[in-house]
Amino acid sequence: MPTDNIDRLLSAYRWMQLTRTLDEAIRTLWLTGKGVGGTFNQRGHEAISVGAAMCLQPDDLVAPMHRDLGAFLVRGITPRRIMAQQLGRATGVSGGRDANIHGCGDLDFGVIGFISHLPQSLPVAVGAAMAFRHRHEPRVALTFTGDGGAITGLFSESLNLAALDRAPVVIVVEENQYAYSTPIATHSANVDIAARARATGVEAIDIDGNDIEAVLTNVTAAVGSARDGEGPTVVVAHTMRMLGHAIHDGAEYVPAELLTDWERRDPVDAIRATLEVAGHPVDQLDEIDSSTLATVDDAVEFALASPWPDPSTVESGVWA
Ligand SMILES: Cc1ncc(C[n+]2csc(CCOP(=O)(O)OP(=O)(O)O)c2C)c(N)n1
Ligand SMILES: [Mg+2]
């Protein structure tokens, strides 16, 4: 494998391992009674959120949703700020106004705050992309939606507008088989999301969302064609939500065999196997794992020691 590819994959491995380890630490804090808000499970989605964000340039914008912890990290929002956000502390991304990935955004890092009402981040990303095009700025907006979000009217309306305006936007659909407890075949009459996107006039492709190389290659191409004025692309990344919808959900409704099947395709195990097969020394990968753990331990310590928000600041950042 060429050195450039190895370097990119190593970087992806670092981010994916950080995403998983941070997610696990957030879960542990919640399960031990220290979490104060909700927390969404990321397991299974690491290659999509990390890989897609890695394809952007610093001036681009990303509008992540609730399973895109990796995108927040790749953009440069630190594990300390994210952990403090989860614990509702003043040092968190929203200054303690939320204790969740909801409302978590920072335009200094090109991250549009996640909008809870699904898929409202989508028209916002399309609007941002239209502004880029009309101002002749060579920038791209990228956003995510789920299979559930993709059956809303807003999905089709946003794609229609993006296609009409040839907006430089990339829409990554995280098709993880479920929308909360509803399987895709129960909520979608036509489960072919890419075909539905094409029907609105937008290019669409299907990829294996657990294969980081597929994510990097295809999203890089989609971002490139958006930047070159060739319009939007929908990338349907197929994966599996490996845990419940959120921390409170045991997901007993998911058949065990389905999970066993997808566990064999775990995206973090897969990228590690790829690097090992390419001859990358195992001890260097282990070193990434242990430094990641140290980073996450530091983030937990920082967040737990951080102050609660000062009530007198409650109106700061309120515009109306
Ligand atoms: C308009 C709206 N309705 C309901 C919800 C509650 N809700 C949050 S996530 C979710 C499931 C979304 O499923 P999907 O789009 O497939 O994304 P996934 O959670 O599977 O990643 C629901 C129903 C919401 N956030 N917004
Ligand atoms: Mg889903």
Query: In terms of pTM, does the model score above 0.85?
Result: yes
Largest CA distance in the chain: 57
How confident is the model at residue 14, as a pLDDT?
98
Judged against a pLDDT cut of 80, whether residue 171 lies above it is answered with yes
Confidence of residue 286 (pLDDT cuts 50, 70, 90): very high
Judged against a pLDDT cut of 90, whether residue 102 lies above it is answered with no
Q: How far is CA 118 from the centre of its chain?
A: 14
CB of 101 within 6 A of ligand 1: the answer is no
**Residue from 48, 98, 118, 254 whose mutation best tests the ligand 1 pocket (most atoms within 8 A of CB):** 118
Distance set, CA 201 to CA 141, 148, 194, 195, 275 (Å): 18, 20, 11, 10, 38
Confidence of residue 4 (pLDDT cuts 50, 70, 90): confident
Mean pLDDT computed over 94-106: 90
Mean pLDDT computed over 264-274: 98
Q: What is the mean pLDDT of the chain?
A: 96
CB of 146 within 6 A of ligand 1: the answer is yes
Lowest mean pLDDT among 34-38, 57-61, 117-121, 263-267: 34-38
How confident is the model at residue 38, as a pLDDT?
86
Separation of CA 100 and ligand 1 centre (Å):
15
Confidence of residue 131 (pLDDT cuts 50, 70, 90): very high
- Ligand nearest to C-alpha 181: 1
Which residues fall within 8 angstroms of residue 68, CB to CB, at 6 or more apart?
45, 48, 49, 53, 114, 144
Bridging pattern class, strands 182-183 and 233-238: unpaired
247 φ/ψ sector (left φ>0, alpha ψ -120 to 50, else beta): alpha
Which residues fall within 8 angstroms of residue 181, CB to CB, at 6 or more apart?
245, 249, 251, 253
Domain boundaries, the chain: 3-304
Lowest mean pLDDT among 101-115, 188-202, 258-272: 101-115
Tokens of 38: 């909700």
- Cβ distance 246 to 197 under 8 Å? no
Pick the residue whose CA is nearest to atom 9 on ligand 1. 180
CATH domain 3-304 topology: Rossmann fold (3.40.50)
- Percent of the chain exceeding pLDDT 90 equals 92
Residue 302 CA to residue 148 CA, distance in Å, equals: 36
Mean pLDDT computed over 32-56: 95
Residue 48 CA to residue 267 CA, distance in Å, equals: 9
How confident is the model at residue 224, as a pLDDT?
98
**What atom in ligand 1 is closest to the CA of residue 176?**
20
How confident is the model at residue 67, as a pLDDT?
97
Separation of CA 147 and ligand 1 centre (Å):
9
